[in-house]
């Protein structure tokens, strides 16, 4: 899932870098909007590591906007046997913790990841058809 998220951020023009235990994305320097994303896996340890992650982010970029415009995407893999209600409750507690980052928890299973990858391939095929086959310029001399 982490590689898929990296692909999505890069597709939308974010610049990425890797740090110890997380990926860091930011809009390009010439962008009008300052936006920073931290992508991590496994929410269990995140709350206790927030200050370390914040410090590492500060060293990656010197932007003063980092404090106000940072979001954290937490990727949490689940299996079919997991207690969904307990996971949702834990995710809500993580998201509501306001220290430094606005947090979003993405729960996913292997089957959901496979479905998402398949949808991504289908969307790419549709875009190719739209951009080449359906354009009048393709058939004009």
- For the segment 64-73, what is each residue's pLDDT rounded down to a tens digit? 778 788 888 9
pLDDT, residue 55, reads 87
Q: How many CB atoms lie within 10 A of CB 125?
A: 10
* CA dihedral for 101, 105, 110, 116, sign (positive or negative): negative
74 close to 108: Cβ distance less than 8 angstroms: no
The pLDDT tens digits for 10-43 are 988 999 999 888 999 998 877 778 889 999 988 7
Q: Output the average pLDDT for the chain.
A: 80
* pTM, entire model: 0.76
Q: Which two tokens stand for residue 47?
A: 């709350």
Place 57 in a pLDDT band, splitting at 50, 70 and 90.
Answer: confident
98 or 56, greater pLDDT: 56
Average pLDDT over residues 110-118: 89
């Amino acid at each position: 899932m982490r590689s898929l998220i990296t692909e999505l951020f890069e597709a939308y023009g974010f610049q990425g870098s890797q740090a110890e235990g997380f990926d860091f994305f930011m809009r390009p320097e010439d962008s009008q909007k300052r936006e920073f994303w931290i992508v991590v896996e496994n929410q269990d340890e995140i709350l206790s590591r927030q200050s370390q992650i914040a410090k590492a982010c500060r060293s990656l970029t010197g932007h003063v906007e980092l404090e106000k415009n940072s979001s954290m995407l937490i990727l949490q893999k689940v299996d079919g046997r997991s207690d969904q209600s307990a996971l949702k409750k834990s995710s809500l507690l993580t998201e509501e913790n306001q220290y430094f980052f606005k947090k979003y928890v993405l729960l996913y299973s292997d089957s959901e990841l496979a479905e998402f990858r398949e949808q991504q391939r289908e969307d790419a095929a549709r875009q190719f058809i739209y951009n080449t086959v359906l354009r009048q310029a393709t058939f004009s001399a």
